Amino acid sequence: MKNHFGCPVQATSNVFAGKWKVLIVWHLGFGSRRFAELRDLLPGVSEKVLAAQLRELEHDGVLRRISAETVPPRVDYMLTDAGKELITVMEVMCAWGTKYLGVTPTLPRIPPATQTPAQAPVTD
């Protein structure tokens, strides 16, 4: 675990540390995905890096890996309740980045109907 210096904000930031983690969490906000689906949504990610970042997110309690005993084996990834709460954090960060850094969002927004109350966007 990366050092958080006793700061919950740093600890939360550490969860997102990794080139693909924010996008992985965002895409899982729409529902469960298989490994290949995530790989296809993240052009340029290697399978090795994707697998490592999925393991780290699972270790941090952000997502759950679900294996089905089928032939061929089926593995799905989905957000935990803690992971779903991070969507709210990401929405606020998105608004801040747009307002203060001028970055226009290019990814689709998670529809409010699929959000839990803890995920509802913060309004001013």
What would the pLDDT profile of 88-116 be if each residue is shown by its tens digit?
Answer: 999 999 999 999 999 999 888 887 755 55
Predicted model pTM: 0.83
Q: Alpha-carbon distance 52 to 10, whole Å? A: 21
- Pair 116, 84: CB distance under 8 Å: yes
Instruction: Look at strands 63-68 and 33-34 and give their pairing.
Output: unpaired
The whole-number pLDDT of residue 124 equals: 45
- Specify the CATH number of the domain 8-117: 1.10.10.10
